[in-house]
Amino acid sequence: MKSPLTPLFQRGDTNFNSLLEVLRMKATDKSFVLCGGRRTPIGHLAKSLAGVTPEDLMQAALRSILQGTKLYPHAVDGVLVGWVGQGSHAPNIARISVLKAGLPEKAHAYTVQANCVSSLETVAGACRHIAMGEGDLYLAGGTESMSGFPYAIRGSRAHKKLRSLDAVKANWDSLQDDPEITLTDTTEEGLTDPIEKINMAATAEICAQVYSISREEQDAYALDSLRKTLAAERSGFYDSHVAPFEKDGKVLLARDEYPFLREGLAEKPQMMGKAPALFDGPSYSIERFFSDNAKYIKGKKFEPGVSRGTVTLFNACARSDGAAAVIVASEERAKDLGLDILARVRSWGFWGINPSVMGISPVFAAQVALERAGIEFSDLDEIELHEAFAATCLSVFKVGKEMHRQDWRSKYEAGQVNPHGGTLALGHPLAATGTRLLLNLVYGMQKNPNARLGLVAACASGGLGGAMVLEKYG
């Protein structure tokens, strides 16, 4: 009998060599395909989905994929989930989602935090796993409950007031007056870049000032996004991949919430101009904005009577709740399972720039993805661009053409950019947005008989950009 200290396998043994063969990773030339996906309706902050946890949102997206496709649970090799507002109540939310959704216990699962490109990264990650031969079919996506972002107490547990929960409760009244303790809104904290100390709305205003994007242009773009979104919602476009969210037998939300909360703007567009500028008011002037951000607003100076703030709540994306997921598989496995293959993943790319102008990062990520796919920007038939702010989208139009001859403006005017609306109208459930963009593209190209090649591109806090090129299957 072997001692417990004797190795189970020894070099040279037949079993050892067999184990090595199983564990050895071999990159393959497999083709990656998307076989459809589903998402929840997107809920507005503190509205219909406010009481739903991010893990339950993700569970709903995964279960609706199983319900709405030919995929059976045991075929899933792994699940990759993006989640920006990660919390201790659901450590590794991907694994929790696997178990809550009834997927096999064997499934590999991990969680990604790459801000707003998190679920683009999960899809790229699934492709990488397939390429390395680790599995043949993954579910990839993202989830977010911005309504559930907590308030945090920052400080060391060495402090006597923070040594235990009982100590916190006993000293609650004096916590906010203690210089060693900070009470924090994690939403505002998370939307502020810790390196450049600038929040996301300010990055949009910087882009607007640097690239001379007027308030009127931004409002017109945001209004167009709203109108296209409402038209798509009413025509049933989103019915192909949005499943009503139910809890305890009751439908909490059947369709995306924010477009209909802003429906009046589409009917009375003059209301767009009544929204106050975020950085041009009695408490914070545009002159001060220029002063505080002079190192970012390069080549431009404040001009009294001319310079004015442009970013408003109406031309910025909304904070939201929701989840989305797609099936990523090798082409061979998808065919074996009889899945409906909708698109082939041709390439992807990620690129970082200075966080102060994070909104133009899609230009550079898109160029990486296009070059890897071996195609030109002009070859694209449809594009889904993340609309964090109207200012950033319009800046992408300018920078793309100047830097890489990407004629976004012409594509936009031809109706090829966000033809079914975008983030400005739908809302932005942070980590779910990348997959939401992919779903828009996949099902949009299915609807368009003339579409063959498509691009998804998104910016993210921290200056990261992500992009992915798809080709319609068949």
Of residues 35, 44, 116, 386, which has the active-site annotation?
116
- Contact assessment for residue 364 and residue 465, using Cβ atoms and an 8 Å cutoff: yes
Say how many C-beta atoms besides its own lie within 10 A of residue 89's C-beta: 12
Tell me if residue 139 falls in helix, strand or coil: strand
Residue 17 has pLDDT above 70, yes or no: no
Angstrom distances, CA of residue 157 to CA of 87, 91, 180, 314, 444: 18, 21, 11, 42, 52
Q: How confident is the model at residue 11 (pLDDT cuts 50, 70, 90)?
A: low
Q: How confident is the model at residue 6 (pLDDT cuts 50, 70, 90)?
A: very low
Mean of pLDDT values over 417-427? 98
Label residues 366-395 b or e (16+ Cβ within 10 Å = b).
bbbbbeebebebeebbbbbbbbbbbbbbbb
pLDDT tens column, 433-443: 999 999 999 99
Q: Return phi, psi of residue 356, to 5°.
A: -70, -20
Active-site residue, 428 included: yes
286, HSE (Cβ side, Cα atoms, 13 Å): 20
> 453 is written with which tokens?
């090649």
Mean of pLDDT values over 24-42? 87
pTM of the model: 0.94
Q: Which residues pair with 400 in a beta bridge?
A: none
Active-site residue, 116 included: yes
- Contact assessment for residue 391 and residue 427, using Cβ atoms and an 8 Å cutoff: no
Residue 5 has pLDDT above 90, yes or no: no
pLDDT tens column, 71-112: 999 999 999 999 999 999 999 999 999 999 999 999 999 999
Angstrom distances, CA of residue 444 to CA of 99, 107, 117, 408: 32, 30, 20, 18
> 138 is written with which tokens?
């993954």
Nearest residue to 454 via CA among 407, 404, 384, 399: 384
Mean pLDDT of the chain: 95
Active-site residue, 459 included: yes
Residue 22 has pLDDT above 80, yes or no: no
> 26 is written with which tokens?
């071999």
- Contact assessment for residue 222 and residue 313, using Cβ atoms and an 8 Å cutoff: no
Mean of pLDDT values over 272-298? 97
What percentage of the chain exceeds 90 in pLDDT? 93
Angstrom distances, CA of residue 296 to CA of 210, 280, 362: 8, 18, 19
Q: How confident is the model at residue 16 (pLDDT cuts 50, 70, 90)?
A: low
* Alpha carbons 267 and 176: distance in angstroms, whole number: 46
Say how many C-beta atoms besides its own lie within 10 A of residue 398's C-beta: 18
User: Cα torsion for 321, 95, 190, 224, to the nearest 10°?
Assistant: -40
What percentage of the chain exceeds 70 in pLDDT? 94
In this prediction, residue 288 carries a pLDDT of 98
> 90 is written with which tokens?
């659901």
> 371 is written with which tokens?
């070059």
Say how many C-beta atoms besides its own lie within 10 A of residue 86's C-beta: 16
* Alpha carbons 73 and 63: distance in angstroms, whole number: 10
Residue 15 has pLDDT above 70, yes or no: no
In this prediction, residue 4 carries a pLDDT of 39
Residue 439: its H or E element: helix 433-447
Q: How confident is the model at residue 2 (pLDDT cuts 50, 70, 90)?
A: very low
* Alpha carbons 274 and 312: distance in angstroms, whole number: 10
- Contact assessment for residue 108 and residue 136, using Cβ atoms and an 8 Å cutoff: no
Residue 66: its H or E element: helix 54-68
Secondary structure E strands in 216-332: 245-247, 250-253, 320-330
Of residues 44, 129, 241, 428, which has the active-site annotation?
428
Q: How confident is the model at residue 29 (pLDDT cuts 50, 70, 90)?
A: confident
- Helices 215-235 and 390-404: crossing angle in degrees, nearest 10, is 100
The number of residues making up the chain comes to 474
Of residues 127, 207, 317, 459, which has the active-site annotation?
459
* Alpha carbons 43 and 287: distance in angstroms, whole number: 36
Residue 336 has pLDDT above 80, yes or no: yes
Nearest residue to 365 via CA among 381, 378, 382, 377: 377
Mean of pLDDT values over 293-309? 96
Q: How confident is the model at residue 212 (pLDDT cuts 50, 70, 90)?
A: very high
